Amino acid sequence: MSSSTGLRTGLQGRSVIVTGAGSGIGRAAALRFAEEGARVTLADLDREAVERTVRETETAGGTAQAVVGDLSDQEVVDRVVVTAVDAFGGLDVLVNNAGIMDRMSALAETDDAEWERVIRVNLTAPFLLTRAALPHMLAAGGGSIVFTASEASLRGSAAGAAYTASKHGVVGLTKSLAVMYRKEGIRANAIAPGATATNIRVDAQGRSHGPGTIGPYVALAGKVAAAEEQAAAIVFLASDAASNISGAILPVDNGWSAI
């Protein structure tokens, strides 16, 4: 951002964790942070994908390392944070980006397995990682945490019951953090992406009630964003250019949320 917009990001040399960094928004954010001179720890379940992002980051002149594992597992969460702190001397920025979609299921169609997995990955995992990161940020006198929420965090017509509930939960977590730790120098914000070109799968059941009901509303999304457009918003919120912004939920949706 600083090289293209003139904004002072203050990210040079900072230690940053990005989850879901093997592809899509996470990969784009990792590369953008590296362009700003940050040192990035990249977490993803897909070893091949996240290691490819590390290579791309290093080829571009950045400093990166990978941690592979399921972020709904406390042991993996602890390993991600310890790896970042040990390698880079602390932790300044956490980007809770990793997530999965549901099947667009309406509540009555949502089985326990779908509900529990979506909530575990989309809401519990960011909670666990943020809880593990906070002591290091508090000891350093501050830090920035950015969540990837969703258009589904702003309305009830963009996804199924499980995903919608999980992303509304992410918004609540963001705002609670912003209030609870504002005096300690912790900033917490979230982006709310609209339709975005990523490899996230939507295994919708075509004849079920949920997809049939949601379809006309999702059609209002309009332009499909590039992952890099979402990444630019993440890096801005994480940076010193947003130093007085906390508790904000930023739609990055080409105006979908304004309809």
CA distance 122 to 144: 19
Please compute Rg for the chain using Cα positions. 17
Written as six digits, the tokens of 10 are 């203050």
Burial of 244 (0-12, 13-18, 19+ CB in 10 A): exposed
Question: Do 37 and 10 form a contact (C-beta atoms < 8 A)?
Answer: no
**What are the CA-CA distances from residue 65 to residues 18, 30, 34, 144, 175 (Å)?**
11, 11, 12, 20, 30
User: Which of 115, 163, 181, 256 is labelled catalytic?
Assistant: 163
163 classed as catalytic: yes
Return the active site residues. 163
